[in-house]
Amino acid sequence: MSIEVLSIIVLFVSFFILLMLKVPVAFSIGISTTISLLLNIDSLPGITTIAQRMITGIDSFALLAIPFFVLAGEIMKRGGIANRLINFAKSLVASLPGGLAYVNVLASMLFGAISGSAIAATSAIGSIMTDRMEEEGYPREFSASVNITSSTTGLLIPPSNILIVYALASGGTASVAALFIAGYLPGILLGLALMGYVAFVAIRRKFSKEQRAPLKEIWTYFRKAFFSLLLLFIVVGGIVAGVFTATEASVIAVLYAAILALIYGDIRVKDFPSVLLTSAKTTAVVMFLICTSMAMSWLFSFESVPELMSNFLLEQFSNKFVIFLVINIILLIVGTFMDITPAVLIFTPIFLPVVVALGMDPVHFGIVMVLNLCIGLCTPPVGTILFVGSGVAKISVSQVIKPLLPFLAIMVIVLLLVLYIPEISMFLPRLFDL
């Protein structure tokens, strides 16, 4: 056995052992990477190299967008925007069978897109909608399932922090602007698919529906939500038009959200230190994950793992569509025990060369990968959104698993459609020549 193969085995074995011992993911990645590298070189240069790779891994102007988008999302979460979006969504779809479930999906899509955070959408929308839906006869388990799965659409519909992370991991082969515009149709398709299943359940169980809102009421709620929705067009439109970069757009998002929250009166100036502190904590966790993940990603390159994986897959499977399917099965498994940020940073350098060699566009693969790992966020044992959504609904994880399964099946079907029909994600980037 070569030292390279032994090093990779030690890396994965130590990583899984640390995870089973409930060591935080970022520390598990950093420790296992260090142990693996020390098999190749002496301790002092090895530890120095890991530290250097961690620092250089976040030495990127594009990554500055993440703390600002996190801050913008926190301001929006506290600024009453969720209520305005829920009321607007309710005026549009509450008259349909299972109307409040539609409201949950649509509000999660809008809030997740505006905040760029699936967790923020889960907690903000779920904390409001679960009680409302229970009053109308919806089981809390069903409401939680709707909330958990629909909140992932915010990771596809821009602005999305994870798409910025993928752009970094891709080594510049996929631009942030192209990824942002490519995420629209898959994100909307996922939302519509979830609504389709909601309609089926609502008709079968005869869930209640409300009276159709008059146009005057719809206009009133739209007017109240308009400036919140406008942020999407300002940020994404500015990036696509080349007016500003994603990082500059994130700063604009913070200023816009802060001014809007102050005008609405939902946040006062004295509340901002608390908002900044919460955002700083979230940013620190994300950035440390990125640091250690970039070090592990470098180790994979150092050990020629992408080349080994590419050769293995091409030798074992002759059909590129089968290879795409195998890669997605691996990512589905990875997503069940690893958070989305380190998964993107670690596995993009491994699989991207393989799919590009087979003719897949890096932007297309980025959307497929993020959508794939979104499913992992909704599944045990590590599913962050699963635990947040269950906590917000005040039910146990075991209670939500059974009603969640059909929604996960819908997500897998959408994943396969996006995987094998590239036009779903590539139509808009090609239209805008990105």
Give the C-alpha separation, 364 to 390, whole Å: 32
- Answer whether residue 189 shows pLDDT above 60: yes
**Considering only 237-251, 267-281, 361-375, which range has the smallest mean pLDDT?**
237-251
> pLDDT above 70 covers what percent of the chain?
97
The arithmetic mean of pLDDT across residues 151-171, rounded, is 88
Give the C-alpha separation, 108 to 120, whole Å: 9
Q: Is 43 left (phi over 0), alpha (psi -120 to 50) or beta?
A: alpha
CB atoms within 10 A of CB 171: 12
Question: How many angstroms separate the first and last alpha carbons of the chain?
Answer: 45
What residue segments make up the domains of the chain, in order of their start? Answer: 61-267+303-431
More confident position, 104 or 419: 419
- Answer whether residue 90 shows pLDDT above 60: yes
Main-chain phi, psi angles of 124, to 5 degrees:
-70, -50
The arithmetic mean of pLDDT across residues 176-190, rounded, is 93
Task: Give this prediction's pTM.
Answer: 0.86
Residue type, 399: Q
Instruction: Using DSSP, state whether 347 is helix, strand or coil.
Output: helix
Is residue 378 within 8 A of residue 372, CB to CB? The reply is no
Give the C-alpha separation, 103 to 210, whole Å: 12
- Answer whether residue 179 shows pLDDT above 60: yes
What pLDDT, on a 0 to 100 scale, did the predictor assign at position 1? 57
13, 17, 22, 28: CA torsion to nearest 10: -40
pLDDT in tens, 395-409: 888 899 999 999 999
What pLDDT, on a 0 to 100 scale, did the predictor assign at position 257? 86
The arithmetic mean of pLDDT across residues 360-368, rounded, is 96
The closest of 388, 380, 400 to 123, measured between CA atoms, is 388
The closest of 221, 204, 235 to 406, measured between CA atoms, is 204
pLDDT in tens, 266-282: 788 888 899 889 888 88
The arithmetic mean of pLDDT across residues 160-187, rounded, is 90
Give, for 138, the enclosing helix (H) or strand (E).
none
The closest of 193, 168, 171, 151 to 66, measured between CA atoms, is 168
